[in-house]
Homo-oligomer: A and B are copies of this chain.
Amino acid sequence: MALVVQKYGGSSVADAEGIRRVAKRIVATRKAGDQVVVVVSAMGDTTDELIDLANEVSPSPPPRELDMLLTAGERISMAVLAMAIATLGREARSFTGSQAGLITDERHGWARIVNVTPGRITGALDAGAIPIVAGFQGVSHATKNITTLGRGGSDTTAVALAAALRADVCEIYTDVDGVFTEDPRVVKRARRMPRISYEEMLEMAANGSKVLMPRCVEYARRYDVPIHVRSSFSDKPGTWVDMHVPDETEEAGMEQAIISGIAHDKSQAKVTVVGVPDEVGEAARLFGLIAEAGINIDMIVQNVSAISTGRTDISFTLPGADGQKALGVLRDAQEKVGFEEVRYDDRIGKVSLIGAGMRSHPGVTAKYFDALAKAGVNIQMISTSEIRISVVVSQDDVDAAVNVTHKEFGLEADEVEAVVYGGTGR
Residues of A within 8 A of B (CB): 16, 19-20, 23, 50, 53-54, 56-59, 61-62, 64-66, 68-69, 71-72, 75-76, 78-80, 82-84, 86-87, 91-94, 99, 120, 144
List of B residues within 8 angstroms of A83 by Cβ: 54, 57-58, 61-62, 65-66, 69
**In the assembly, what is the distance between CA of A82 and CA of B145, in Å?**
14
Copy total for this chain: 2
**In the assembly, what is the distance between CA of A306 and CA of B70, in Å?**
67
Known pairs A57-B87, A59-B87 / 4 extra A-B pairs, C-beta < 8 Å: A57-B80, A62-B86, A65-B92, A69-B80
List of B residues within 8 angstroms of A87 by Cβ: 57-59
Which of A58, A68, A76, A120 has the largest count of B CB atoms less than 10 A from its CB? Answer: A68
Q: Is the CB of A68 within 8 A of B94?
A: yes
**In the assembly, what is the distance between CA of A61 and CA of B59, in Å?**
38
List of B residues within 8 angstroms of A59 by Cβ: 87
Q: Is the interface of A mostly helix, strand, loop or mixed?
A: helix
Which of A66, A80, A87 has the largest count of B CB atoms less than 10 A from its CB? Answer: A80
List of B residues within 8 angstroms of A69 by Cβ: 75-76, 79-80, 83
30 contacts between A and B (CB under 8 A): A16-B56, A16-B57, A19-B57, A23-B57, A53-B76, A53-B80, A54-B79, A57-B80, A57-B83, A57-B84, A58-B87, A59-B87, A61-B86, A62-B83, A64-B93, A65-B80, A65-B92, A65-B93, A65-B94, A66-B79, A66-B83, A68-B78, A68-B79, A68-B94, A69-B75, A69-B79, A69-B83, A72-B72, A72-B75, A99-B144
List of B residues within 8 angstroms of A92 by Cβ: 65
**In the assembly, what is the distance between CA of A78 and CA of B57, in Å?**
12
**In the assembly, what is the distance between CA of A93 and CA of B50, in Å?**
18
**In the assembly, what is the distance between CA of A23 and CA of B61, in Å?**
14
Residue of B nearest to A43 (CB): B53
Residue of B nearest to A99 (CB): B144
**In the assembly, what is the distance between CA of A59 and CA of B62, in Å?**
39
**In the assembly, what is the distance between CA of A58 and CA of B86, in Å?**
8
List of B residues within 8 angstroms of A86 by Cβ: 58, 61-62, 65
- Of B16, B54, B91, B99, which is within 8 A of A53 by CB? B16
Least distance between A133 CB and chain B CB atoms (Å): 12
**In the assembly, what is the distance between CA of A58 and CA of B71, in Å?**
23
List of B residues within 8 angstroms of A62 by Cβ: 82-83, 86, 91
**In the assembly, what is the distance between CA of A69 and CA of B83, in Å?**
10
Residue of B nearest to A20 (CB): B57
Residue of B nearest to A69 (CB): B79
**In the assembly, what is the distance between CA of A99 and CA of B65, in Å?**
14
List of B residues within 8 angstroms of A20 by Cβ: 57
